Structure 1
Amino acid sequence: MAVSMASCGSTLGVYTKLVQPINKTAFFGSSSFGFDHVKNLCNSTKPRLSYSLSTMIPKASATAIEDGNSQETDVVPTPKVIIDQDSDPNATVVEITFGDRLGALLDTMSALKNLGLNVVKANVVLDSSGKHNTFSITKASTGRKVEEPELLEAIRLTIISNLLEYHPESSGQLAMGEAFGVEAPKTKLDVDITTRIRIDDDGPDRSLLSVETADRPGLLVDLVKIVTDINVAVESGEFDTEGLLAKAKFHVNYKGKALIKPLQQVVANSLRYFLRRPWTDESSF
């Protein structure tokens, strides 16, 4: 599993807001970015959902249909979105799984292209866990993989937004269903209980930071900001959205070296502190 690091329905409404990109350190080797226009993904009446990205999130066309493959079954599978920055040095690899319900994802790829990305369909694999749709993404302007955390989060939320658009039955299975789905998940995760943080040495030059916590819009950007605010560099990794949970694995270093034990504890404590209060203004940008 792996990421190389640096919309909403009309019933919920959309608003525009300017935000400042992360400037603490380059994420996955390039400086952070920002677009002139910023569109918030989900303008709910709940203040805890007032997260916005420094980019415009395109949405699939309301008239387009992605091959109509949405069989109704008694059990709704758990949606999974994996953003992998490690497996391909030249591209960001995305994998989407939702049982056997996903169609061709043509509109999803079209929406990603509207973010200034090149999308190449790689393959579809069907196994006991469902249909795995995997494709590679590069920035149209450079032909290189995506490295900015804001754009990686925009990719993730664009995919989830379109998943909810074409498969509204997934709303109750996704944490994002509360933000911009047709119904909120019936199960609510306790952040304190759900959050698990582990840091292991991954050679002399870097450490592997693993974080599992309750998912929410903007989480990927917040995780990177929390770590880089401690002057720990994030090299690469993977960010998985699995139903109500988000699972991240980041390769990190401090001045080109693996994190020593006291610094590991500082990183873990900072993450726990911010993740247990994710809906305050201080935790996003």
Structure 2
Amino acid sequence: MSEKQAGGRGIQSIEVGGALLQALAAAGRPLALKDLALAAGMTAAKAHPYLVSFSRLGLVEQTSEGAPYALGPFARSLGLISLQQDAPLQRASAELAGLAQALDMTVGLATWTEQGPIVLRVAEPPGPVHLSLKLGAVLSLSQSASGQVLSAAIGWDGVAALWQRAEPTLTEAEVKARLAAVRRQGWARSDESLVPGVSALAVALGTLGATPLRLAFVALAPREWMDARLPGVVQALQQAAQRCAPAAS
């Protein structure tokens, strides 16, 4: 690539070392030195000095000497700051309190990551009793409503690697059929996957151009309550998602 194509003169060593961070992020899990180096297209001997420097900066970390490398606290902080500055996320976050009050349910906002869906924001209902949704919790792909609806919105090509790792007993055809059904329905529901007797219902936000926003509203309620109010909950979450869509398009 020429300097003109790259937007100016760069520092090659940073770009070479950056391939390790890209490979680690793409893997979505800690990697041993030899596996990480292989994924980045270099030898372990070449990768190690970069990883030492990245460790000092907090971009990668190990639980002990010789342990696999994972993204470090500084890398996680960068990711969170990036999300906080994201306009669609800000618009969706502004909807949460109103949804929680209108539905009298705990309502959260989940996003897709290389580890799967995680809970980014939570709004509690005004009543004295509410169900808890833990911030930062990584949710199940197949058992959570958020995992299903976000997978359906993103599409098989974007989620295949994670599904194959998390649910090795499911065939590609089985997962595709499940996601197609969720996509046709426009929402996903899971019963008792988080807490016995509790249901979750999730609706994905739209797209930014042709790219899925990778965000979903999720409401939690006792199963009987969700059964009785299902159409209204679906409508409220879908309308909130639509209100976020015009500014995001």
TM-score when normalising by structure 1: 0.25
Point out the structure with the larger strand share.
Answer: 1
Larger Rg computed on CA atoms: 2
Structure ranking higher on relative contact order (CA contacts 8 Å, 6+ apart)? 1
Normalized per residue, which structure has more helix?
2
